[in-house]
């Protein structure tokens, strides 16, 4: 329905010209010859007038009356028009009526939440939700936001209005930003889900431990298939992912060679696992790689379940294993601790059921959930070039459902899913949360840890991958040194993470004890891994994954290849021959992380003698230096009068923007001199005021 401008202007007792200007100021397009406006616009004008009248302490009854009259008249006119049409048996096809009919046909489905992007105009928000634009603008005004129909509002603001109007909305998912795709950061992509959409998902488990302690045989026993026999020397030669079923529930296992792939993914920011199974041989106990695996899992923040393997051996000693693990803060449950430890025999299959039950119990406590009814987001576990299929990748779906023919971005590459297979090689059409899937159809081979995200079309996928490639080139050209990277990484957390390697156990213990004594309330140093021997690739990747540095005491790299890995990953490896030098370097780094202390240094005082010019917050004044000196660009407190204790009372503050002596601009003026000043202040300055002039200096703190 529409309202005549002349009628509205007459009722409001303002000229039609002024009314049109008012409507234009609210962002509505109206031609000079226009004679009618939509009711929404009329309602908005009346609402504005109503709020103004309320501010003037006049009652809104008159405004409400005027509006009611206009609406009543319009309804009457519509009824008369309708009756005329029925009598004539004809359909009036005027533009205004067509518009009304169209509006009547528009139905908004309120049974499901309406998707709203991160930012939306008032007009678009009204069209999507069916809420009148006038009501939206009115609600915004109530919340202190002056807006017109073209004003952009963010999702949080839209949520407030929708809640008030009993309309359900949800955030429309955006494509991952270049930074997230490069860093492997899926946290933002996973946060946007409504808790009511989340459903239970299978846990993702990684098996780690010392070499030859039975990791592959344990996985083989779990899968009940013999993949070990065809492998040279029992070494895992591929990275895969498998699913098994226990008590009607699925569990996903990552089959990784030791913990290298796990660390590699963490180094790129990906969190692909929920639970770590630590395999320890009952006849050998804790070994160096066992300790590395513990530190990797602990630093990744995943719960650890210990599988004490090889219980079939005659010299198996589980109590000895438990004692050694307790030394590394893994206290067994039967010793009053919290770590689940299950005796197993991967060879005979003993204890496997109990182990899987413990995995499901731990997963239940972790409350693992995802939204299957959304576009898929996943992490690349492994990728290679296949002679028949081209670039292929093993993807672990973090959330959503991946489907055949989906367009995807995967790190620096993109493509369309033309083929999907499960771990048995069977074709898949869909893959839900925590499911592993081998995919083909990518333009290039991605890297382990890259993010996969489904997008609307190939154009968006290609454009975003090109942006990532360009950003990668720029970053490689402007690559920071290892230490710069560490400083920028730890500044936010105020924690320096160290991987310490030493030539002897005595030296290592001395270093750890000395580092433990370095303490401060704001910053801290944390040894995430330590060991005796040369610096290996695992040490470097551990530091890369945690944003830390490697400190080598009387030791070196175990091969030139490790040196190159450190350069590629941007890891600083510092070598020492004296413990004192190591501790000094740590203190220097931590001191650089301490927030500087702001110290106020009073320069002098001046009395204001005359006010020459006043402009809003800026004033030109004359004064005399009573003590010390004045300095250009310095700050000042305005002292005016005394408080109850007879102390100077601070009335306001400001800054000197220009300082003059006679007709020359100067940097500073000493005691006893007259001067002219241009100043900015938060209150008007008066003659007789005293300025206490000061500067603020940063004092860098040390440990």
Domain containing 683 — which CATH number? 2.40.30.10
Over residues 203-234, the pLDDT tens digits come to 999 888 887 888 888 888 888 743 444 433 33
SS3 content of the chain, % helix, strand, coil (to 5): 35, 30, 30
Give the burial class of 483: count Cβ atoms within 10 A of its Cβ; 0-12 exposed, 13-18 middle, 19 or more buried: middle
| Average of per-residue pLDDT across 560-578 | 86
Quick one: pLDDT at residue 110? 55
Q: Is residue 519 part of a domain?
A: yes
Q: Let me know whether 360 and 405 are in one domain.
A: no
Token pair for 321: 């294993």
The Cα 86–Cα 101 span in angstroms is 16
Confidence of residue 1 (pLDDT cuts 50, 70, 90): low
| 636: helix, strand or coil | strand
Q: Let me know whether 504 and 467 are in one domain.
A: no
| Average of per-residue pLDDT across 417-433 | 90
Confidence of residue 17 (pLDDT cuts 50, 70, 90): confident
Confidence of residue 698 (pLDDT cuts 50, 70, 90): confident
Whether the predicted model's global pTM rises above the 0.85 cut:
no
Quick one: pLDDT at residue 618? 86
What is the torsional sign of CA 475, 481, 484, 489?
Answer: positive
Confidence of residue 591 (pLDDT cuts 50, 70, 90): confident
DSSP character at residue 345: B
The Cα 524–Cα 517 span in angstroms is 10
Confidence of residue 63 (pLDDT cuts 50, 70, 90): very low
| Average of per-residue pLDDT across 673-686 | 91
Please count the other Cβ atoms lying within 10 Å of the Cβ belonging to residue 223: 16
Please count the other Cβ atoms lying within 10 Å of the Cβ belonging to residue 151: 17
Q: Strand 495-502 relative to strand 549-553: parallel, antiparallel, unpaired? A: parallel
pLDDT higher than threshold 50 for residue 94: no
Domain boundary pick from 52, 73, 105: 105
Percent over 70 (pLDDT), the chain: 77
Residue 330 · residue 285 · CB < 8 Å: no
Greater model confidence, 236 or 597: 597
Q: Let me know whether 605 and 580 are in one domain.
A: no
pLDDT higher than threshold 60 for residue 98: no
Q: Is residue 378 part of a domain?
A: no
pLDDT higher than threshold 60 for residue 36: yes
Q: Which residues pair with 602 in a beta bridge?
A: 694
| Average of per-residue pLDDT across 51-74 | 48
Split into its structural domains, the chain has a count of 6
Q: Let me know whether 135 and 164 are in one domain.
A: yes
Q: Let me know whether 426 and 311 are in one domain.
A: no
Over residues 124-144, the pLDDT tens digits come to 888 888 888 888 888 887 777
pLDDT higher than threshold 70 for residue 55: no
What residue numbers bound the domain in which 7 lies? 2-105
Q: Which residues contact 459 (CB under 8 A, 6 or more apart)?
A: none
Domain boundary pick from 54, 86, 105: 105
What is the torsional sign of CA 15, 19, 25, 28?
Answer: negative
Token pair for 279: 């395999």
Over residues 351-365, the pLDDT tens digits come to 999 999 999 999 999
Quick one: pLDDT at residue 597? 73
Q: Let me know whether 547 and 690 are in one domain.
A: no
Range name among 36-50, 406-420, 480-494, 501-515 with the lowest pLDDT average: 480-494
Of 82-86, 170-174, 193-197, 287-291, which one has max mean pLDDT? 287-291
What is the torsional sign of CA 617, 620, 622, 627?
Answer: positive
Q: Is residue 382 part of a domain?
A: no
Token pair for 703: 């440990």
Residue 155 · residue 162 · CB < 8 Å: no
Domain boundary pick from 56, 71, 105: 105
Q: Looking up tokens 């309708």, which residue turns up?
A: 82
Residue 57, phi then psi, degrees to nearest 5 = 60, 25
Confidence of residue 173 (pLDDT cuts 50, 70, 90): low
Q: Let me know whether 219 and 355 are in one domain.
A: yes
């Amino acid at each position: 329905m529409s309202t005549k401008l002349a009628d509205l202007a007459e009722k409001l007792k303002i000229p039609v010209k002024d009314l049109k200007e008012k409507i234009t100021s609210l962002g509505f397009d109206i031609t000079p010859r226009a004679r009618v406006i939509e009711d929404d616009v009329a309602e908005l004008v009346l609402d504005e007038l109503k709020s103004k009248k309320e501010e003037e302490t006049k009652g809104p009854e008159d405004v409400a009356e005027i509006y009611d009259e206009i609406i009543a008249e319009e309804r009457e006119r519509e009824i008369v028009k309708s009756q005329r049409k029925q009598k004539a048996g004809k359909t009036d096809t005027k533009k205004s009526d067509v518009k009304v009919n169209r509006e009547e046909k528009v139905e908004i489905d309120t049974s499901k939440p309406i998707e709203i992007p991160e930012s939306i105009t008032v007009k678009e928000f009204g069209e999507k939700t069916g809420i009148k634009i006038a009501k939206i603008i009115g609600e915004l005004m109530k919340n202190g936001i002056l807006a017109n129909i073209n004003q952009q509002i963010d999702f949080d603001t839209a949520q407030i209005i929708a809640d008030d109007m009993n309309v359900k909305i949800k955030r429309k998912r955006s494509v991952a930003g270049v930074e997230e795709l490069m860093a492997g950061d899926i946290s933002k992509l996973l946060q946007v889900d409504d808790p009511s959409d989340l459903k239970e998902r299978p846990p993702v488990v990684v098996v780690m431990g010392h070499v030859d302690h039975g990791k592959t045989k344990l996985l083989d026993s779990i899968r009940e298939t013999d993949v070990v026999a065809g492998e040279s020397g029992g070494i895992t030669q591929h990275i895969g992912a498998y699913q098994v079923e226990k008590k009607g529930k699925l569990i996903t296992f990552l089959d990784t060679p030791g913990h290298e792939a796990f660390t590699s993914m963490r180094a790129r920011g990906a969190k692909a696992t929920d639970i770590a199974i630590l395999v320890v041989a009952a006849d050998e106990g804790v070994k160096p790689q066992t300790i590395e695996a513990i530190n990797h899992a602990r630093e990744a923040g995943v719960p650890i379940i210990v599988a004490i393997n090889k219980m079939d051996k005659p010299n198996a000693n589980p109590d000895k294993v438990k004692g050694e693990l307790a030394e590394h803060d893994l206290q067994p449950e039967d010793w009053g601790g919290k770590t689940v430890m299950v005796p197993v025999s991967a060879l005979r299959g003993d204890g496997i059921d109990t182990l899987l039950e413990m995995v499901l119990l731990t997963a239940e406590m972790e409350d693992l959930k995802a939204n299957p009814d959304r576009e898929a987001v996943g992490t690349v576990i492994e990728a290679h070039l296949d002679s028949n299929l081209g670039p292929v990748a093993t993807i672990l779906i973090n959330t959503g459902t991946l489907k055949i023919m989906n367009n995807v971005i995967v790190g620096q590459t993109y493509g369309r899913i033309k083929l999907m297979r499960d771990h048995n090689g069977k074709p898949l059409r869909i893959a839900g949360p925590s499911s592993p899937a081998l995919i083909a159809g990518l333009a290039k081979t991605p890297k382990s840890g890259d993010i996969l995200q489904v997008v609307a079309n190939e154009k968006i996928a290609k454009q975003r991958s090109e942006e990532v490639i360009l950003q990668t080139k720029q970053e490689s050209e402007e690559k920071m040194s290892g230490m710069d990277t560490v400083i920028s990484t730890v500044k936010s957390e105020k924690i320096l993470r160290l991987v310490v390697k030493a030539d002897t156990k005595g030296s290592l213990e001395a270093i750890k004890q000395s580092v433990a004594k370095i303490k401060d309330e704001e910053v801290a140093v944390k040894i995430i891994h330590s060991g005796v021997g040369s610096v290996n690739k695992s040490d470097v990747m551990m530091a890369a994954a945690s944003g830390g540095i490697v400190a080598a005491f009387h030791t070196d790299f175990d091969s030139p290849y490790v040196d190159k890995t450190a350069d590629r990953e941007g890891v600083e490896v510092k070598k020492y021959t004296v413990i004192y030098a190591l501790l000094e370097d740590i203190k220097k780094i931590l001191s650089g992380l301490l927030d500087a202390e702001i110290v106020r240094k009073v320069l002098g005082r001046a009395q204001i003698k005359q006010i020459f010019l006043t402009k809003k917050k800026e004033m030109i004044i004359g004064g005399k230096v009573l003590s010390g000196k004045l300095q250009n660009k310095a700050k000042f407190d305005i002292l005016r009068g005394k408080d109850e204790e007879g102390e100077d009372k601070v009335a306001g503050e400001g800054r000197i923007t220009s300082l003059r002596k006679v007709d020359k601009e100067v940097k500073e003026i000493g005691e006893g001199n007259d001067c002219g000043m241009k100043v900015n202040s938060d209150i008007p300055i008066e003659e007789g005021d005293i300025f206490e002039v000061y500067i603020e200096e940063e004092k860098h703190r040390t440990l």
